[in-house]
């Protein structure tokens, strides 16, 4: 079963410092979101930086997909779910044109 | 559930084991994989045939790290397995990370049956579901003995391949198809305050509504909706009636579950009997053999009394299911013995209980409106008619 969260949407404590994750979790969070389709894969032929907004959008997409409180922040409940063993297929499949779309 | 856009276009799907994991005996692996396929095969009309030589639609292998596809495994934990959607070459194949400790029990390691059942869902064309309790949710959820395919997956796979005869998705707490109906549950909803439903495909009116196995089934044209015991429309509906009830005519006049658990459907001058989803091959029969007129509007079974009310126009008949005849003195005028507010030429009627007040209500539906008849007072409540789709379907 997924980790449960006591944070409800709009809960002010959801993004409190105590509820945020470490840089290591942040990095693995980025890898996770990329691997499972919530963020676009980096283009190897072009240097690219991911903005905070894009990263948070990826978190938000993951939270929406799994019906977690949608904070856009990599909080503990989100990170806990990401740590569960799982299937290797992406949750969101890229379309032929490279855009991401739930299928 | 999510479809990927891919599916097998043949009924028989072949599978093959390319190698085995050292974690389990050969027979344990074969049984786990066969059972994992069969949990899907029990829901859909397709069959799975194991082959030992040549290629197969679903080829199964155990490997670690890089293994000749673009998706290397990552050691213990993390990714457990992956599979490819239906198609040529790798399509359908399932790969298991042999760095996991695969088991066949519920208490330790990673249960191979559960992982395989999930992967074979991909092999058949399902993507990951956002319903976290479903088999097709991406996360490993452990194994429970006597595992049953969850509702979300059941509907998802049947909407791709159709339903195996008699295979009806069951919700938790919902009696299985074919089981006799129990007494009214104490936790039935307050009917006039249903939860808003997520299904956007609401109809403006319904041909027939029947309480079957405790659930409300709402029929319109060739489709039906399903409402669980909490009065919530179920996701994934409407679907074609033909996926549950073989050869059922469209645009029904009426439907009800009889005291002997048979399900009866009426249309025009004929009626059909089904047990669960199986049609009695001797049907249809003419409605007139019941002593009723053609083209009835509604059928309303009255609890376990063995009496069923049939409505047409402004008249109603009381039918004795034991004696198999209409009681003497019928038909009577609806307005005389129910309430003058009850609509004539109704579309359908059904009963539901308000658990808070322990009051049974009869609901009469015509076009977009419904009337609530308080059985204890013998009157239609004030404030009615109201919008059926708004109150019941959350539209």
Structure tokens at A70: 């949608």
Whether A86 and B3 lie within 8 Å, measured CB to CB: no
The mean pLDDT of A81-94, rounded to a whole number, is 89
**What residues in A contact B141, CB-CB < 8 Å?**
1
**Spatial CA neighbour of B132 closest among A35, A101, A3:** A3
> Largest Cα–Cα distance in chain A?
42
pLDDT of residue B393: 80
Contact by Cβ (8 Å): B240, B162: no
Taking an 8 Å Cβ-Cβ cutoff, which residues of chain A contact chain B?
1-2, 36, 65-67, 81, 84-91, 93, 102-103
Prediction ipTM score? 0.73
pLDDT of residue B244: 81
B165 or B315, which is more confident?
Answer: B315
B321 or A10, which is more confident?
Answer: B321
Residue B198 has pLDDT above 90, yes or no: no
pLDDT of residue B194: 35
Q: Rounded CA gap, B119 and B153, in Å?
A: 12
Contact by Cβ (8 Å): B347, B316: no
| Alpha helices for A1-103 (secondary structure H) | 23-35, 52-65, 76-82
Tell me if residue B119 is catalytic.
Answer: yes
Residue B205 has pLDDT above 70, yes or no: yes
Q: Report helix, strand or coil for A52.
A: helix
User: Helix, strand, coil proportions of chain B in percent (round to 5)?
Assistant: 15, 30, 55
Give the mutation candidate from B67, B128, B156 for the A interface (greatest A CB count, under 10 A). B128
Q: Report helix, strand or coil for B27.
A: helix
**What residues in B contact A69, CB-CB < 8 Å?**
none
Whether B82 and A67 lie within 8 Å, measured CB to CB: no
Q: Which helix (H) or strand (E) holds B151?
A: helix B151-161
Q: Report helix, strand or coil for B178.
A: coil
How far does A42 lie from chain B, in Å, by closest CA?
16
Residue B113 has pLDDT above 50, yes or no: yes
Contact by Cβ (8 Å): B143, B152: no
Give CA separation, B50 vs B60, B114, B258, in Å.
Answer: 11, 19, 43
Please state the separation of Cα B99 from the chain's center in Å.
38
Q: What are phi and psi of B62, to 5 degrees?
A: -115, 130
pLDDT per position as a tens digit, B358-371? 778 899 999 999 99
**Spatial CA neighbour of B130 closest among A7, A37, A77, A68:** A68
Contact by Cβ (8 Å): B134, B150: yes
pLDDT of residue A49: 59
Contact by Cβ (8 Å): B156, A100: no
Whether A88 and B71 lie within 8 Å, measured CB to CB: yes
Q: Which residue of B has its CA nearest to A95?
A: B4
Structure tokens at B337: 């013995």
Check B100, B119, B232, B257 and give the catalytic one: B119
pLDDT of residue B226: 85
B9 burial (CB, 10 Å; 0-12 / 13-18 / 19+) is exposed
The mean pLDDT of B194-200, rounded to a whole number, is 39
Q: Rounded CA gap, B375 and B360, in Å?
A: 6
Please state, for a pLDDT cut of 90, what percent of chain B lies above it.
58
Average pLDDT, chain A: 70
Structure tokens at B116: 């395989």
The mean pLDDT of B158-178, rounded to a whole number, is 63
B235 burial (CB, 10 Å; 0-12 / 13-18 / 19+) is middle
């Amino acid at each position: 079963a997924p980790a449960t969260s006591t944070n409800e949407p709009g809960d002010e404590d959801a993004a409190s410092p105590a509820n945020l994750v470490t840089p290591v979790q942040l990095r693995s969070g980025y890898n996770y979101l990329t691997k499972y389709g919530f963020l676009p894969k980096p283009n190897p032929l072009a240097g690219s930086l991911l903005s905070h907004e894009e990263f948070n959008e990826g978190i938000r997409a993951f939270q929406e997909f799994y019906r977690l409180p949608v904070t856009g922040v990599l909080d503990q409940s989100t990170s806990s779910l990401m740590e569960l063993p799982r299937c290797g297929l992406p949750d969101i499949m890229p379309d032929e044109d490279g855009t991401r779309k739930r299928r | 559930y999510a479809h990927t856009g891919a599916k097998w276009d043949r009924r028989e799907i072949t599978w093959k084991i390319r190698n085995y994991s050292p974690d389990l005996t050969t027979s344990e692996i074969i049984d786990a994989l066969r059972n994992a396929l069969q949990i899907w095969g029990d829901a859909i009309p397709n069959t799975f045939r194991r082959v030992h030589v040549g290629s197969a639609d679903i080829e199964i292998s155990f490997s670690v790290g890089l293994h000749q596809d673009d998706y290397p495994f990552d050691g213990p934990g993390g990714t457990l397995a992956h599979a490819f959607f239906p198609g040529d070459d790798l399509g359908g194949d399932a790969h298991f990370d042999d760095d996991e400790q695969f088991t066949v029990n519920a208490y330790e390691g990673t249960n191979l049956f559960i992982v395989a059942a999930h992967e074979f869902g991909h092999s058949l064309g399902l993507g990951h579901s956002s319903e976290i309790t479903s088999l097709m949710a991406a996360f490993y959820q452990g194994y429970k003995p006597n595992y049953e395919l969850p509702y979300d997956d059941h509907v998802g796979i049947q909407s791709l391949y159709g339903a195996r005869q008699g295979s009806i998705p069951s919700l938790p707490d919902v009696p299985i198809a074919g089981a006799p109906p129990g007494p009214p549950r104490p936790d039935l909803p307050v009917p006039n305050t249903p939860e808003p439903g997520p299904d956007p495909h609401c109809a403006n009116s319904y041909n027939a509504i029947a309480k079957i196995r405790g659930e409300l089934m709402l029929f319109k044209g060739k489709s039906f909706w399903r409402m669980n015991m909490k009065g919530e429309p179920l996701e994934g509906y409407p679907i074609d009636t033909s996926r549950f009830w073989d050869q059922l005519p469209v645009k029904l006049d009426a439907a009800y579950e009889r005291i002997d658990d048979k399900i009866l459907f009426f249309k025009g001058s004929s009626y059909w009997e089904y047990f669960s989803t199986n049609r009695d091959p001797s049907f249809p029969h003419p409605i007139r053999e019941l002593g009723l007129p053609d083209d009835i509007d509604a059928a309303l079974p009255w609890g376990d009394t063995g009496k069923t009310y049939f409505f047409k126009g402004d008249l109603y008949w009381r039918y004795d299911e034991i004696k198999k005849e209409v009681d003497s003195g019928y038909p009577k005028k609806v307005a005389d013995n129910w309430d003058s507010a009850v609509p004539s030429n109704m579309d359908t009627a059904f009963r539901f209980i308000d658990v808070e007040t322990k009051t049974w209500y009869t609901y009469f539906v015509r076009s977009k409106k419904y009337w609530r008849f308080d059985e204890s007072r013998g009157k239609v409540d004030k404030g009615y008619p109201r919008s059926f789709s708004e109150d019941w379907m959350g539209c």
